[in-house]
Each structure stands twice: as C-alpha cells, then as structure tokens.
C-alpha cells in the first residue's frame, strides 16, 4: 500500500511515522520537507491511499479528488461537512470501491475495547448513566494558533471523540442533545463545554482545554454494577475498574486492571484501515450521526 500524507502537522507526522516505508510522498503547502504543495500535484499512478490530516474546511475537496480517483482515504476526525457532502463522499466511496475512513483512534484503547465486551455481555445490567470527561491543557496553544481559536472551539475537537465512543459503546442515540454550559475562559472560541443526552443511558459529556494535566474518564452505571475508566494509555497509567453491585446496598466487589504502556491506538487503527482497504469499507454513516449532533449543538454554542 503506497501512501501519501496530506498535511504535515502534529497528526500528519504521527501518521507518517506509523505508515513508515509505505509513505511515498508528503503534501503540505508550507512544510519545507514536503514533496508537493497540493494533492492534485501528486501523480495519480504513484500511490494507492492517503492519510488526510488538514484543517476541517479543506477536507471535502481533497476527499472528492482522492475518492473520485479510486484512492483509499484515512481522514482525521471530525468530518465537519454537511449531510449532503457526506452522502456525496459516501457515493464516491461506494462507486469506486475506495475506503473512506474517519479516524477515531480512541475506539482502539484497550480499556474501551474491554468495556465494549462487558456491555455486550450485559454484565452491568440495564444501563442508567454514562459520564464522559475529556480535558486537554492546550488553551494557550489554541489561542496562539493562526486558525484553531475560532468557531465551536473545543466542542468538535474533543466532543466528537466522546460522541464516537458513545456510538461505539451504546449505539446511536436518538436525541440531538442539550447544551448545559459553554465558556470562553481564555480563548475567543469556547474552551469549556458541558452537554448531554436524555434517555437510557443518560449521557453526560464535558470537554475542556483547561485541564492542565491531560485527562480522560468514563463512568458507566448499570443496575447490576458499574465500570470506570481513568486516563488514556498515552497519558498513563490507565485503569479500568469494574464493580459488582451489592444488594440492597453496601460496598461492591471490584476488580481493577491497570495498564502502563505507550499509546497502541495509532498502529492498531492503521492496521484496521488497511483491512478496510481490502473491501472498500467506510464509516461515513457514523459521520452522518456525529454531524447531526455537532450541527444541532454547534448552533447553540455559537449563539451562547
């Protein structure tokens, strides 16, 4: 698989490192080590796939070019395109049997994968509540960026990860969501947002750029017990605590699994992408669901 890296920022450099010897060209308008400034300059016959790591407003035209030429695509999240644009890309992907995969690497966190198995086995019983917290300490970096401190701010960046994990773990939630709090503490764009979804389970989500030690947590409460993930492997140690409810009340039995290792998700996700390329599979339907949530709450955030 001959791969082009489009966009040589933080994510692009990670993708280039993982793809390794598969990389045949790098595209970036300003990076001095880039081979081309625009994707259209790369000879079509010279590559099979591309990792697209560019700002959100540049993604759709690049994906149109790649998919129309039968090239497989891994594109960084989120896909902030209109429903019509996403459906257009889906049609191109299917017509040319070209994979179009939006990357959400946290699905491949070991504890997230284990939790998925626990939920599928209904070990926690009927679910009541899931609470997500995702915090980075990048408020100043975003403010100093020439293009990042604008629009919906932290919401599509970190919120899209939580939405994707919720879709993966619990399935598509019908509610468009409720905005509970939005703040611009240090940035022009929102750097702290709290939102959620009623139903079973209730979903509570908090995203912020003001967590000076990067942090992630997920608490899932069911009628038979609960599960709790603290931290991602990249920030480690990462723990998964599973508790068995004691009736009618009392201290539950619990097991704790702790992982302290380098982030495995980038390599696992890249291998997953290569497997999808064998069949022309896509996850753009997932993007339609996430886009509906981001679009609804995004309007409220921009007005707040």
pLDDT one-digit tens code per residue, 250-288: 999 999 999 999 999 999 999 999 999 998 889 999 999
Instruction: Please state which of the ranges 44-53, 108-117, 280-289 shows the lowest mean pLDDT.
Output: 280-289
Under 8 Å between Cβ of 6 and 24: no
pLDDT value, residue 20:
95
Q: Which CATH architecture has domain 106-263?
A: 2-Layer Sandwich (3.30)
The whole-number average pLDDT for the span 163-179 is 94
List the domain boundaries for the chain.
3-103, 106-263
CA distance 163 to 215: 17
Q: Whole-number mean pLDDT of the chain?
A: 95
pLDDT tens readout for residues 180-200: 999 999 999 999 999 999 999
* Structure confidence at residue 137 (pLDDT): 96
Closest CA to 297 of 171, 148, 172, 197: 197
8 Å CB contact between 108 and 265? yes
63-101 confidence digits (pLDDT tens): 999 999 999 999 999 998 999 999 999 999 999 999 999
- Report how far residue 239's alpha carbon sits from residue 271's, in angstroms, rounded to the nearest whole number: 25
Overall average pLDDT of the 31-57 stretch: 95
Question: What spatial distance separates the first Cα and last Cα of the chain, rounded to whole Å?
Answer: 46
Q: For 43-157, where are the E strands, in sequence order?
A: 49-52, 72-76, 100-103, 127-135
Q: Could you tell me the CA-to-CA distances from 169 to 111, 122, 183, 208, 222 in Å, in that order?
A: 12, 12, 28, 22, 14
Neighbours of 232 (CB within 10 A): 22
Strand 3-6 versus strand 49-52 pairing type: parallel
Q: Tell me, what's the pLDDT at 236? A: 85
Look at residues 162, 134, 130 and name the one whose alpha carbon lies nearest to residue 227.
Answer: 130
Determine contact, residues 118/227, Cβ cutoff 8 Å. yes
| Cβ contacts of 265-271, under 8 Å, gap ≥ 24 | 265/105, 265/106, 265/107, 265/108, 265/109, 265/233, 265/234, 266/14, 266/15, 266/18, 266/105, 267/18, 268/108, 269/103, 269/105, 269/107, 269/108, 270/15, 270/18, 270/19, 270/74
Is the backbone peptide bond immediately before 78 cis, with ω within 30 degrees of 0?
A: yes
Q: Token digits for 212?
A: 């000076």
**Are 3-103 and 106-263 the same fold in CATH?**
no
- Top-confidence residue, 173 or 36: 36
* Per-residue model confidence as pLDDT tens digits over 115-153: 999 999 999 999 999 999 999 999 999 999 877 899 999
For domain 3-103, the CATH class is: alpha beta
Is residue 125 within 8 Å of residue 224, measured between CB atoms? yes
What count of Cα atoms within 13 Å lies in the side-chain half-sphere of residue 64?
Answer: 10
Mean predicted confidence (pLDDT) in 285-300: 94
């Amino acid at each position: 698989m001959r791969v082009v890296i489009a966009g040589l920022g933080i994510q692009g450099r990670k993708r280039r490192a993982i793809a390794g010897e598969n990389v045949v060209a790098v595209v970036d308008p300003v990076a001095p080590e880039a081979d081309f400034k625009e994707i259209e300059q790369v000879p079509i016959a010279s590559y099979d796939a591309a990792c697209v790591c560019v700002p959100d407003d540049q993604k759709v035209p690049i994906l149109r070019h790649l998919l129309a030429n039968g090239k497989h695509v891994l594109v960084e999240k989120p896909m902030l395109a209109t429903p019509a644009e996403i459906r257009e890309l889906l049609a191109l992907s299917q017509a040319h049997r070209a994979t179009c995969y939006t990357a959400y690497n946290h699905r491949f966190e070991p504890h997230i994968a284990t939790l998925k198995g626990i939920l599928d086995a209904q070990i926690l019983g009927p679910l009541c509540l899931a609470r997500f917290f995702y915090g980075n300490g990048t408020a100043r970096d975003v403010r100093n960026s020439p293009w990042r401190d604008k629009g919906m701010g932290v919401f599509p960046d970190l919120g899209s990860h939580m939405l994707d994990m919720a879709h993966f773990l619990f399935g598509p939630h019908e509610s468009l969501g409720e905005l509970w709090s939005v703040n611009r503490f240090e940035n022009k764009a929102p750097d702290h947002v709290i939102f959620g979804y009623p139903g079973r389970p209730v979903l509570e989500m908090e995203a912020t750029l003001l967590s000076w030690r990067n942090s992630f947590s997920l608490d899932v409460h069911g009628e038979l017990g609960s599960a709790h993930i603290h931290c991602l492997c990249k920030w480690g140690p990462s723990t998964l605590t599973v508790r068995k409810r004691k009736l009618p009340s009392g201290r539950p039995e619990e097991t704790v699994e702790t992982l302290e290792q380098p982030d495995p998700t980038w390599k696992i996700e890249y291998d997953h992408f290569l497997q999808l390329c064998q069949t022309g599979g896509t996850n753009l339907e997932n993007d339609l669901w996430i886009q509906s949530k981001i679009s609804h709450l995004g309007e409220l955030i921009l007005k707040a």
